[in-house]
Structure 1
Amino acid sequence: MPRKKTSLWLKGLQLLASAAQPKKKTATRKRTPRKSTAKTVRAARAPSASAAGKWIRSYHSAPPLAGHLVNHLAYALYVPASLASTAAGEGAPLVVMLHGCKQTAESFAAGTRIGRLAERAGFAVLLPEQAKTAHAQRCWHWHGDPAQSEAPAVASLVEAIVAQYGFDATRVYLAGISAGAGLASALALHHARLFAAAGLHSGPVFGAATSTMSAMHVMRRGAREDPLQLVERSVDVAAYAGMPTMIVHGEFDAVVEKRNAAQLAAQFARVNRLTDAHGALRVGEMRTYSRDGADYTDWLRAGRLVVRLCIVRGLGHAWSGGDAREAFHSGKGPEATSMLWQFFRRQKRAH
């Protein structure tokens, strides 16, 4: 007989807490949030000898949309102790993290160590979670029409959480790995008003896959078509507000071929209007260099970094510099979590 749902929630909360603070101490308490469509299920305090932040496990009901795959999303939210003196972190930045296939909010948080960094840097973390009823392997539906994917539900969740907790709407950042990076691309391009910057780790090129079969082909080989034409079909580049983006990929990724990363970088250089429709640099400058076991290509405008491509040497399909005890995370390479935050913290979305 399966365990009750309550015990599953509690197990997840314990893993989330340990991802934020490894010291042993337990305490739980319920939290009553402000009114919102996001309903709080249970809150837990991370174990620590001193005051620690809270991991909150909850779910969100997005407005129903015709043809929408899912409008009920579970999620985990971390509010660090450094924000405890404010009304649940009012005015703080928010980082949205989208897990990959066969992952949960808990395993992604533990593998990336995002809670520990959030505690030090003072930002909140939101981890939407795909339901097994929507996909048996918990994969997001990143291919096909973004309007028919989970992107609208995630966008609705982000809006609800920002409104409920009073996070800074101009400093909301988006990151994902693998299928989560695929969905993050769709959100960055079709819900750009919500995010100040994006981070795509081990993700597929945007717009090339229209079905499960074509998605497999794209993952193995990248897009057959010109990636710039693919993105221009979906986005009005002239009207697009822009999206600073960092792309991280393993050199030896056998699940999502690294050609996808180069194509993604070309797409985001284009939508940020750094290049023309043929990929030629039109403004700013492009730099290539190597350091810390990775090869970088940067696109800059007026000396400011807008798009970065980072290929981690020797890395497979895994989060760079993560906790190797969690699946799809590797201790190899630069620490992607810190690298992304250093990129995010310099970005702010205009009102």
Structure 2
Amino acid sequence: MKRLNAGAWRTAPEGMRNAQMDPAALVRQTLARHGLGDGGGTGGDRAGGIIRDALARAGLGQGARGETAPDLPQGATFARGQHSGKSGTRAYRTYIPASASAGANGLVVMLHGCTQTPEDFALGTGMNAHAEAHRLIVIYPEQSRGANAQTCWNWFSKGDQARGRGEPEIIAGLTRQIAQHHGIAPRHTFVAGLSAGAAMAVILGHAYPDVFAAVGAHSGLPLGAAHDVPSAFAAMAGNGGVTRPPATFAPRTIVLHGANDSTVHPANGSAIAAMAEAGVKGPVLTSEERGTAGGRRYHRSLTWGAESQIHTEQWRIEGLGHAWSGGQPGGSYADPAGPDASAEMIRFFLEPDAKDDLT
């Protein structure tokens, strides 16, 4: 079980602190404030949402901000750090695998979702184990509560959607710093994320093609889907309108999305893929396949560009909600069933080098 952050109670709103650190009391108090009693009858769905919201704000429930870090192989490190750019400062964790003692093959930036931490995200995605197998360094930037109360990356803010400013500037600067320190070229540098983290990963891929060679977006939203909080909620519900003009460039992109995602509508995954496909140069070839992995059915669409490598890959996973497919125990928003999203992203990221090895 994931350890709860005791400090979360100290920062909870006054009404929550009055629950005397008792989750049951917090639930009763919150429901009473909304006139829903025990949450039965027709108000049940609404009550469930209110409960989850209240628990998350208090530091409890699925999105609790714990500090439990994944176990490390001998020789590996999972160090804390802090990076400052012209747009602000963010903390981060860096995983350096024991297998990279003779040098790393690449770097992956992993952007967590709302209410998550780097430690939580590393646990749930199991990305460190894949990094160990492929000699990859992984950076886990951490959103601050000062920037967003629910620790969501601000993908919907106009000031955080373009090159040279806001959160993209901070994350890209951090990535450059770590990559240069370890001698990792941009063609071996990638960015991925979940939900709000995926939306920010998409922004970074478009804004910094000189930093990131490919993007992994799990349960995310397309560039330009929103410009403020109301339009963000509309986009999450599948009612967003992408305002950005058709792309003349788009990074290589792999998209995974649950067909049963009720938090971020699956239409957003299709919009990310469509925008990526719009940037493919030269003749475009496509293929589709259906299959089963991890006990779940999936539909996989592929697009090739002129370079004879997969440019865009989209997975629609049946039965999956708003969670990391093939996730690991101990992390929030991680579903153990279905294709292993981390493995598929790493395979997609490294595919161009694998083809180079065969020629």
- Per-residue CA shift, 1:217-243, capped at 9, x if unaligned? 00001433xx5xx3426x5x1xx3x41
Structure 1 residues 144-200: Cα deviation after superposition (integer angstroms, max 9, x where no partner): 331354111001100111122222332001101100011111100011110111100
Q: SS of the counterpart of 1:160?
A: helix
Which structure 2 residues correspond to residues 60-79 of structure 1 after superposition, within 5 A? 60-62=83-85, 64=86, 68=87, 71-79=88-96
Return the index of the structure with the highest Cα Rg: 2
Corresponding residue for residue 329 of structure 1: 334
Structure 1, unaligned stretches of length 5 or more? 4-11, 19-45, 275-282
Structure 1 residue 346: deviation in Å?
1.5
Matched position secondary structure for 1:326: coil
2:207 is the counterpart of 1:190: yes
Aligned CA distance change for structure 1 residues 176 and 98 (closer, same or farther; 3 Å): same
Contact 1:130 1:140 in 2 (8 A): yes
TM-score for the superposition, normalised by structure 1: 0.76
Which residue number in structure 1 is paired with residue 275 of structure 2? 267
1:324 is displaced (CA, Å) by 4.3
Q: Does 1:159 align with 2:163?
A: no
Within 5 A, what are the aligned runs for 1:46-125?
A: 46=72, 48=73, 51-62=74-85, 64=86, 68=87, 71-84=88-101, 86=102, 89=103, 91-125=104-138
The structure with the largest helix share of the pair is 2
Structure 2 residues not aligned, in runs of 5+: 1-5, 9-64, 354-359
Root mean square deviation, CA, Å? 2.1
1:117 offset after TM fit, Å? 1.1
Question: How far 1:301 moved relative to its partner?
Answer: 2.5
**AA matched with 2:146:** T
Q: Which residue of 2 aligns with 1:170?
A: 187
State how far apart, in whole Å, the 2-side matches of 1:259 and 1:193 are: 29
Please state whether the residue corresponding to 1:322 is helix, strand or coil. Answer: coil
Separation of aligned partners in 2, 1:93 and 1:111: 21
Secondary structure class of the residue paired with 1:232 = coil
Tell me what 2:284 maps to.
Answer: 284
- 2:152 counterpart residue number: 139
Once the two structures are TM-superposed, the CA of residue 318 in structure 1 deviates from its matched residue by 0.3
Residues 47-84 of structure 1: per-residue CA shift (max 9 Å, x gap): x4xx331111111111x2xxx4xx10100001111112
**d(CA) in 2 for partners of 1:301, 1:342:** 18
Contact 1:205 / 1:223 at 8 angstroms: preserved in 2? Answer: no
Note closer, same or farther for the CA distance 1:299–1:2 as it changes in structure 2 (3 Å cut). closer
**Shift, 1:289, TM fit:** 1.5
**Normalised by the size of structure 2, how large is the TM-score?**
0.74
Question: Residue 16 of structure 1 corresponds to which residue in structure 2?
Answer: 69
Distance 1:133 1:106 in 2: 19
Question: Where do 1:250-265 residues align within 5 Å?
Answer: 250-265=258-273
Aligned residues: 283
Cα deviation, residue 286, structure 1: 1.4
